Structure 1
């Protein structure tokens, strides 16, 4: 007997032309208490979804349909306001297309055949949980749209076993992103083994990753299990993969393709079950062949790519990171610091941060350790610039002014719920002036959505 409909259960749209598979999915989802609307062609879905888009929590769509591609259905509905999230069902040969759709905004994909229990978990994870379509989860990496887009991709990738390549400048937070990916994945209880390919001498790196047998080389007095073997069913994180020697890249390619490894000096293949996550600050896509990085390995590592933007491109995160790192620094000492002065925040917001998040954290740690006041001042964060305010690393005055105006306008919009007239009153400018500034600073679209 079907379960009664529950208020917190999803309303699902199913686009599937196979009557056997579609009927089986509908029956199981209805037994779970979910309401299912089933379309057997792309045209039926496009015609049927928009009027009820606000009421659908997820669309499950086959990529191969009799009248069109599931990608066409997705692209058509993506233009509609409040379009529902998509989970694609695909054959093995269509995985590349499914991955491309995830980069375009699909929440997930599953390869046929699949286990029904896993299918139900993906639905629960992918469906939206508020009427506005925003998933009820906080962000861990920052508050800016740029970093939240990257974090959304990480959440989409978490349930898959395909390799992930994280790119970004040195110090931007690639390892933090890799650890987050591991922590929210089904492998969270398994080991996370991190290897810095740039920090280990080339002649030792193979032994560190793959391990060695006793007597494999001079000094190998006992068997050593490498990072790949110790990762078990968890995550093998290869940081700065672009610095891996060419000779070792071939062995890593075999590890990924064969799912097994052989210790240095050994002969017996050992199963490799971990997920490979790699990171680099280099552009590996243009370093193929003799230039230093194997093109075939790059394409195996970059199946699911995500880019961590530099801090200068996500300035909304600066004060968020300042507060977070200061709280951590204070918790590790008996320092009595109340926070950052307004002048210190302004200095941080106008600094270019060439060292990215790592530099910000180090500056906060130093300021917390050396400050003699309850409030951290600009000189505590940037002592080297105390007598040279115009040194490299600071932004032009026009950028400083724009950043300050943007912050004040954002605060006023937040305070007034996006009402431009009231925000203009708080800022003591005319509505026309405020609108011109919002347009120039890229805030006009946000205001429309909030008004």
Structure 2
């Protein structure tokens, strides 16, 4: 397994050892974030999502034990590879039993170190917890489908509104697939210059056109045996759609100006926010290409259709940006959570991410208030509020839905227990869930 493209967090206070490991891991193709203290590492690990953490067991301001205990509480915590002196091996073994990945005793052989790093990354890539993509039933169904198709080689088409997280789903699919140790090349077709699209996708030979001074490998070739993710697939012009169809059918392509066929070994995953069937009717998309990329089609629901994910995503983005901005803000006021649950989120997860980042950057208080998240809804000097006022009936439904969903989460979906928490009968809870369109929990208690 290659470390190409992997992100590794290194926590080592010894400058000579740190420099040596950074150089060795970089030569293997990894990206390395190096922190020389526990406090730096905590901030950095909350802002990034490394595939592996390499950690010295003794640090100037803390211990590997304490640092691991704190990071292990976070969502999707990465595996740890501890480096330890001979006298601390018992401590390292205890950490393994607590859930850390592995350890190496100093001085260690570099190849042994690399083998253990590769092994931990491979295992973590293929075993991820359920609910990684979201807490809602809608996203759990998406995740289940992605897990089912992960071992296959068939093309996958991801559909959904702008900003719902199609690329996140594609990267999740790659991470749990047998190809996880190979590259994923993500391409936004809408961002490619029209005159360079073919060259960027398929590459070109030296002298193929003016300015082609050297051979260039395109995205299809650079993906190797990994994944080629084509976002905004509807933006490809018709001539290039024909070439993409040929690539899928023949599993091979030629560079611009070349004659030799190059095998296409990657898995193809496409995404769009357009109605491709309507595009076919309008003559903007090839029907035969639609049939080939539509072998497995998965629709990612809009954020307004899965409100249970909103608080979780808010906390996720808060942790990320508060570490990056070194913010003193403590969190979201409860009124802000309420306002977020009532918002329609036309920009979906991308809008939520941007609003949280802006709120953290501009907030003056200890808590993010509704007007920090939605400044356009602030009351003006004349007392006019931009946002329309909800009726009492609408407000009551929002509050009831939120409380029922919270009770179901706390009771692990057991309806009888949720009814007890809410102080109502099981029958009344079932009726409210039906009326509010809340997915049922477990009927068997």
Q: Name the TM tier (shorter chain).
A: 0.5 to 0.7
Whole-angstrom distance in 2 between the partners of 1:216 and 1:329:
45
Change (3 A) 1:380 1:216: same
1:139–1:425: structure 2 CA closer, same or farther, 3 Å change rule? Answer: closer
- Cα deviation 1:108-146 (Å, max 9, x = unaligned): xxxxxxxxxxxxxxxxx9xxxxxxxxx993221101111
Asked if residue 175 in structure 1 is aligned to residue 171 in structure 2, the reply is no
1:6-47 CA-to-partner distances (Å, cap 9, x unmatched) read xxxxxxxxxxxxxxxxxxxxxxxxxxxxxxxxxxxxxxxxxx
2:441 corresponds to: 446
Match of 2:375 among 383, 389, 404: 383
State the distance in 2 between where 1:258 and 1:426 align: 59
Partner of 1:138: 130
What does the per-residue CA deviation read over 1:163-200, in whole Å, with 9 as the maximum and x for residues that have no partner?
11110100000000011111111111111111111111
2:145 is matched with: 153
User: 1:234, 1:381 → 2: CA distance?
Assistant: 39
The alpha-carbon deviation at position 340 of structure 1 amounts to: 0.7
SS in 1 for 2:441: helix
State the secondary structure of the residue aligned to 1:148. helix
- Residue 198 of structure 2 is matched in structure 1 by 206
- If asked which structure has higher relative contact order (CA below 8 Å, sep 6+), I would say 2
CA separation in 2, counterparts of 1:275 and 1:420? 42
How many angstroms does 1:443 deviate by? 4.7
Q: d(CA) in 2 for partners of 1:364 and 1:275?
A: 34
Distance 1:272 1:420 in 2: 50
Answer yes or no: is 1:236 the counterpart of 2:228. yes
Could you tell me whether the CA contact under 8 Å between 1:287 and 1:295 is conserved in 2? no
Correspondence list, 1:357-436, <5 A: 357-387=349-379, 389-391=385-387, 398-413=393-408, 427=422, 434-436=429-431
- Whether the 8 Å CA contact 2:227–2:267 is kept in 1: the answer is yes
Q: Deviations over 1:236-262 (max 9, x none)?
A: 110000111001000000111111111
Please give the per-residue CA displacement for 1:361-386, whole angstroms capped at 9, x wherever unaligned.
00011111111222111011001111
CA deviation after TM superposition for structure 1 residue 429, in Å: 5.5
1:191-250 deviation digits (Å, cap 9, x = unpaired): 111111111121111110001111111111211110001111111110000111001000
Counterpart-to-counterpart distance in 1, 2:160 and 2:147:
18
Question: Does residue 1:294 correspond to 2:290, yes or no?
Answer: no
Q: Choose the corresponding residue for 1:351, options 316, 331, 343.
A: 343
**Taking structure 1 as the reference length, what is the TM-score of the superposition?**
0.65
Q: Are 1:413 and 1:447, in contact at CA under 8 Å, matched by a contact in 2?
A: no
Q: Pairwise mapping of residues 215-294 of structure 1 onto structure 2 (< 5 A)?
A: 215-288=207-280, 291-294=283-286
Trace 1:175-194 onto structure 2 (pairs within 5 A). 175-194=167-186
5+ long unaligned stretches in structure 2: 1-122
| Contact 1:351 1:395 (C-alpha < 8 Å) held by counterparts | no
CA distance in 1, matches of 2:412, 2:155: 42
Q: RMSD of the alignment, in Å?
A: 2.6
Farther-moved stretch of structure 1 (424-433 vs 436-445): 424-433
2:376·2:386 contact (CA, 8 Å) conserved in 1?
no
TM-score of the pair, normalised by structure 2? 0.66
Aligned residues: 316
CA contact (8 A) 2:201 2:220 kept: yes
Residue deviations 1:30-83, cap 9 Å, x none?
xxxxxxxxxxxxxxxxxxxxxxxxxxxxxxxxxxxxxxxxxxxxxxxxxxxxxx
